[in-house]
Amino acid sequence: MPLLAPWLILQGKRVHRSTLRLPEAEGEKQGSCGTGTDLNLLIVGDSAAAGVGCKTQDDALAGQLAGLLSKHHQVNWQLVAQSSRTCAGVLDMVRNTKLSLSSVDAVVISVGVNDVTKRTSYRQWQRDLNELTGYLRDTLGGAQIIYTGLPPMHHFPALPQPLRWFIGQQARQLDKLLARHCLTNAKVHYLKLDLPFSAKYMARDGFHPNPTAAKIWAQRAADIIRS
């Protein structure tokens, strides 16, 4: 690995300069839809949660998940997400955001990709997960906490080899630690998007999920919330 380090650093800088920058999805970041018993939904996280790769929030995770759950509930939802946030950054953002929801029944979280690209250590990653989960428990009470597993970064077309291989290894390791974190904490769920990799799920930047992937993501999250 030391022999590869200079080449990996060079490739990382090139990718950062050349990768297509897509905006966060357009649209409201909170709302209500459906009829029935109230279900208060919070979505927090990074660029994937913010809808990068989708044109509007209706196409992204927040809109599609609220739509699915609204078939049996009045869904009151809020999105607290921003591009480039690590797990620690997401915690800081949530701490400094006033929630419009009076209470929260379920929170869906997308973190990890930026921890991979910014080289968060394994130990720090575990500490950050513990802090985020602890904060959400303290502030949201008995809400279901759902962490989305890291995507298969070893397949991302935006990353050249050997950087893709290296990033993929890091992502796999953080994902294992995330799954373990969920397994050892009550009412904390691990949502694994175990899809066969295909370009049909990728946005134009070769890095973010498109509306097709967001639809499947939303369906998996809805299944956990309903269970």
Burial 168-190 (b: 16+ CB within 10 A, else e): bebbeebbebbeebbeebeebbb
End-to-end CA distance of the chain: 44
Positive/negative CA dihedral, 141, 43, 61, 190: negative
pTM, two decimals, is 0.92
Can you give the residue ranges of every domain in the chain? Answer: 30-226
The candidate with the shortest Cα–Cα distance to 29, out of 63, 68, 69, is 63
Q: For 202, which DSSP code? A: B
Structure tokens at 30: 């909170």
pLDDT digits (tens, 9 = 90+) for 172-212: 999 999 999 999 999 999 999 877 778 899 999 888 999 99
User: For position 92, what pLDDT does the model report?
Assistant: 99
CATH for 30-226, among 3.30.70.100, 3.30.460.80, 3.40.50.1110, 3.30.365.10? 3.40.50.1110
Give ∠ CA 102-103-104 in degrees, rounded to 5.
135
The two structure tokens encoding residue 108: 């869906």
**Mean pLDDT value across residues 39-50:** 99
Position 84 pLDDT exceeds 60? yes
CA distances from 98 to 30, 92, 139 (A): 12, 12, 12
On the CB side of 18, how many CA atoms lie within 13 Å of its CA?
Answer: 11
Backbone angles phi, psi at 23, to 5 degrees: -80, 165
Q: Across all residues in the chain, what is the average pLDDT?
A: 92
Q: Is the pLDDT score of 11 beyond 70? A: no
1 pLDDT exceeds 60? no
Please state, in angstroms and rounded to a whole number, the distance separating the CA atoms of residues 125 and 4: 24
